[in-house]
Amino acid sequence: MRANGAVTLILPILVALAACRPAAPGPAGERIRVAVSVPPQGYFVERIGGDRVQVDVMIPPGYSHVDYPLTPRQIVALSRARLYVAVGHPAFEFERIQLFPFLKTLPGLQVVDMSRGMPLLAGEGEGADEEGHGHSGGAGDPHVWVAPATVAVAARNIAAALERIDPAHAAEYRANLDRFEADVAALDREVRAELGPFRGSRFMVYHPTWGYFAHEYGLQQVAIEGEGKEPSAQRLIRLIDEARRDGVKVIFVQRGFPRKSAQVIADAAGGSVVIADPQERDWLGNLRRVTRELGEALSHA
């Protein structure tokens, strides 16, 4: 209800901004304004668009897509954008509930679904939650940007969108895409070398954001929370038992999320709580760090 109320209040502002929106592209040499939902998408766009793009991120690090409200500053940014790169997953509630109704008022804004063509997971990720908890409002795991295989698809969709908007520089975008895809493939090889010995292993997270990563490398994530809520006392006891049984030495918590229950489990199992945020903008560096810390933890399980 809170999000729907925000739509009602802000929609007239967007309509007014759309009326003032320039119908034609800016002068030659002006950077293309691109808006995205989460910081890693900004990194993807910058890798492919280079100096020819200027990126505005809607959801800052540390905030959830479930209840993040658009700000007036972001509404102005949307009114000036030529392209919006959407996560595109139906369970990504920020886009489905808040954003897409707004974008309908901006007919000159092109939208690309970066998840188009991806093999989407049916649930929150294998083994994410034994009680079947997931995101409300849409089936499946919306965090499609946490694995190299899905990001390679996203990169191709972004490059194609930039080529359509700016065909004069299509060769540059393709060259940037080739370099980025080479980096993604190299990262995939690194992750497989690090985590290959642990296929079938389970790791624990507070919020189930690493489903695509786990699926790609034959792992299982076990989520502490369910439906955005802290675990019950009974479930917490079960999770402690699982952590001890599986030798869990690290529990991943996303920046900005509560860590009390994760700390309780980690203390009981002789492990530690580590920040592993899927919304870090430095996508390559972040996945390398998560892989290294997960590999170290699994080697001591």
Which pLDDT value is given to residue 226? 78
Cα separation, 11 vs 17, whole angstroms: 10
**Separation CA 261–CA 168 (nearest Å):** 53
pLDDT in tens, 209-263: 999 999 999 999 999 997 778 999 999 999 999 999 999 988 999 888 889 999 9
Given a cut of 70, the residues of the chain with pLDDT beneath it are 1-29, 123-139
pTM above 0.85, yes or no: yes
pLDDT at 67: 77
Which domains, from first to last, does the chain contain? 2-114+142-187 (3.40.50.1980), 196-299 (3.40.50.1980)
Pick left, alpha or beta for residue 139 (phi over 0 → left; psi -120 to 50 → alpha; otherwise beta).
Answer: beta
Nearest to 176 by CA among 164, 162, 165: 162
- Nearest by Cα to 110 from 85, 92, 89, 90: 85
Q: Which of 221, 216, 222, 223 is nearest to 195 (CA)?
A: 216
Contacts for 43 with CB less than 8 Å, ≥ 6 apart: 281, 282, 283, 284
What is the pLDDT, as a whole number, of residue 24? 44
Residue whose pair of structure tokens reads 């119908």 in the numeric block: 23
